[in-house]
């Protein structure tokens, strides 16, 4: 009988739910819980990137190495901070472009080959085509810049309450076609695709090996939850990854406020659930 499996290196711990703890605490916890890979969320108090520059890359790299971890994907905070790919006003566009470029530079300096991004959201009181066009223009500029620094952008779709630009598989296909860059690839966030009524099979069917990254979390379908706290079937979904030969990372983008008080306990449970599927 087919047994779903996952490699320990594929599980990429994330630090969003450690927002009330220090970076040292996060790294120490990841190492002790058996993580080997991380998807580094760049937000304070862990990592500071802004539109002007990025800070302390060498120190951050050294700390990560000291904990025997590797940054597989770099994810600049791209929902809460004052930057977005769909920005409209010239100053906002300039700052947003600067911010994501600094993310790419930070990724390069940390030896990380992939940066996560989304389409941005624009405004609700304008024709969708206008925000779409601005999003496409910034994605083109960023994809070119990323290519020059050996970084691939992995773009996720957003929920309809977050954006009206790229929220579905169809939107993703269309945007990738319009940007048409080898440095912009799709990734699937289980929450967003579930909310859109789509499945992992749909996304693998559409993109195959071009699907470069996953935010692989439990949900109901909303929420970015630890496995066990939502309604998804971990074993079945790992089986889907196996059947499509997915060898990329499973970013643990756990964002629900319920985990902020004790993120280590959440990660402990999460990792134990994955370990049932490790050889």
Partner 1 sequence: MTEQTDTKERNSMAHIRRRQVSAMGIHYLYYPLEYMLDAQAAAGFQTIELVGMAPHFLIDHTGYQDPASVRRMAEERGLTIGCFTPECAIYQYLMCAPDPGSHQRSMEYFKRGLEAASEFGAKLLLTNCIGGTRDEEYGRIYERAVRSLSELAPVAADCGVTIAVETVRPEESSCIITLPELKKLLADVDHPRVRAGLDTIAMGVAGETPEQWFAELGEDIVHMHFVDGRPYGHLVWGDGLYPLERYLDVLNRHGYEGYLSQEITDPRYFEDPAEADKRAFEAFLPFMEDAPLHFTRCGEEAVTDVKGIKEPAHV
Binding piece for partner 1, criterion CB under 8 A, among 46-54, 61-69, 147-155, 233-241: 46-54
- Residue (152 or 163) nearer to partner 1, CB: 163
Q: Establish if 82 lies at the interface with partner 1 (CB under 8 A).
A: yes
Contacting residue, 41, 83, 203, 207, with partner 1 by CB under 8 A: 83
Which residues lie closer than 8 Å to 133 by C-beta, 6 or more apart?
none
Contacting residue, 84, 135, 152, 157, with partner 1 by CB under 8 A: 84
Q: Establish if 100 lies at the interface with partner 1 (CB under 8 A).
A: no
Q: Establish if 52 lies at the interface with partner 1 (CB under 8 A).
A: yes
Q: Establish if 278 lies at the interface with partner 1 (CB under 8 A).
A: no
Contacting residue, 45, 148, 205, 208, with partner 1 by CB under 8 A: 45
Say how many residues touch partner 1, by CB under 8 A.
Answer: 34
Q: Establish if 72 lies at the interface with partner 1 (CB under 8 A).
A: no
Which residues lie closer than 8 Å to 211 by C-beta, 6 or more apart?
185, 186, 187, 188, 203, 204, 246, 248
Q: Establish if 129 lies at the interface with partner 1 (CB under 8 A).
A: no
- Using CB under 8 A as the binding rule, the residues of this chain from 204 to 223 that contact partner 1 are none
Q: Establish if 62 lies at the interface with partner 1 (CB under 8 A).
A: no
Q: Establish if 44 lies at the interface with partner 1 (CB under 8 A).
A: yes
Q: Establish if 20 lies at the interface with partner 1 (CB under 8 A).
A: yes
Dist. CA 94–CA 226, nearest whole Å: 36
Binding residues for partner 1 (CB under 8 A): 20-22, 24-25, 43-45, 48, 50-52, 55-56, 80-84, 87-89, 91-92, 95, 121-125, 161, 257, 260-261
């Amino acid at each position: 009988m087919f047994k779903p499996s996952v490699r320990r290196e594929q599980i990429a711990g994330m630090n969003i739910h450690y927002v009330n703890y220090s970076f040292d605490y996060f790294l120490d916890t990841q190492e002790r819980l058996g993580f080997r890979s991380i998807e580094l969320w760049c937000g304070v108090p862990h990592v500071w990137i802004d539109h002007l520059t990025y800070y302390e890359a060498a120190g951050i790299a050294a700390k990560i190495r000291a904990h025997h971890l590797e940054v597989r994907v770099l994810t600049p905070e791209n929902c809460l901070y004052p930057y977005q790919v769909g920005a409209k006003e010239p100053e906002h566009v300039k700052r947003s472009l600067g911010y994501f470029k600094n993310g790419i530079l930070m990724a390069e300096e940390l030896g990380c080959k992939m940066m996560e991004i989304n389409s941005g959201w624009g405004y609700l009181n304008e024709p969708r085509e206008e925000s779409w066009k601005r999003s496409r223009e910034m994605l083109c500029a960023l994809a070119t810049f990323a290519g020059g620094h050996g970084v691939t952008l992995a773009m996720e779709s957003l929920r309809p309450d977050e954006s009206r630009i790229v929220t579905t598989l169809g939107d993703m296909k269309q945007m990738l076609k319009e940007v048409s860059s080898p440095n912009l690839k799709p990734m699937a966030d289980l929450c967003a695709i579930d909310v859109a009524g789509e499945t992992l099979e749909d996304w693998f069917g559409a993109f195959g090996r071009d699907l470069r990254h996953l935010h692989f979390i439990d949900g109901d379908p909303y929420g970015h939850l630890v496995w066990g706290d939502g309604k998804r079937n971990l074993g079945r979904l790992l089986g889907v990854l196996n059947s499509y030969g997915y060898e990329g990372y499973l970013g643990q983008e756990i964002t629900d406020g319920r985990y902020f008080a004790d993120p280590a306990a959440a990660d402990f449970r999460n990792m134990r659930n994955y370990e049932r599927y490790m050889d």
